[in-house]
Amino acid sequence: MGPSALCPGTFDPITNGHLDIVRRASRCFEEVVVAVLENPGKAPLFSTEERVAMLKEATSDLDGVEIASFSGLLVDYAASRGIKVIVKGLRAVTDFDYELQMAQMNRTLNGGVETFFVPTSPQWSYLSSSLIKEIMRFGGDVSEFVPSFVRQRLSEKLSAGRE
């Protein structure tokens, strides 16, 4: 398989579902660049720097994984890094419509970039960063779904927001 792949996302914050995809991609590619979208329009809870730092900590045991951030079009970022494969996780059919649309559009924008879909491991198929944030806001337990240090950062961030 090719030497490099790109795993893009918002990662606000990283979950065990994301980590599963990055870990599995790292077994198939020599280098995996996890790219955090700088998306102020989406008003993420964590800054780009905070999301990058959490990803670095969560993937520190994986060889060949680099954490980066980007703005603008994903295919332009891929081209600037000389990467031809985008890896995305698919949780359920509900993801499929949107992911297929993006993959087709990205391929139209740059025919040299392919999207590979990886089926999410079943135990994470219902997991999302949005649900994690909602559960935390209402005092629920997310320890099964994110690394413990991420749960800690969420707790600090949400309590700071209430001050």
Whether 18 is a known active-site residue: answer: yes
Of 74, 78, 83, 127, the one binding ligand PNS (CB under 6 A) is: 74
Of 2, 47, 49, 73, the one binding ligand PNS (CB under 6 A) is: 73
CB of residue 77 vs ligand PNS: minimum separation in angstroms?
8
The strand order across the sheet containing 65-70 reads: 65-70, 31-37, 4-9, 85-90, 114-119
CB of residue 139 vs ligand PNS: minimum separation in angstroms?
25
For position 102 contacting ligand PNS by CB under 6 A, the verdict is: yes
At residue 69, φ and ψ (nearest 5 deg) are -135, 160
Mapped onto helix, strand or coil, the DSSP state of residue 88 is strand
Which of 92, 96, 10, 95 is CA-nearest to residue 55? 10
For position 9 contacting ligand PNS by CB under 6 A, the verdict is: yes
Q: Which of the ranges 7-15, 117-125, 136-144, 153-161 carries the binding residues for ligand PNS, by CB under 6 A?
A: 7-15
Which spans in 9-110 are helix H? 16-28, 48-58, 74-81, 93-109
Instruction: By CB under 6 A, name the binding residues for ligand PNS.
Output: 8-10, 37, 73-74, 102, 105-106
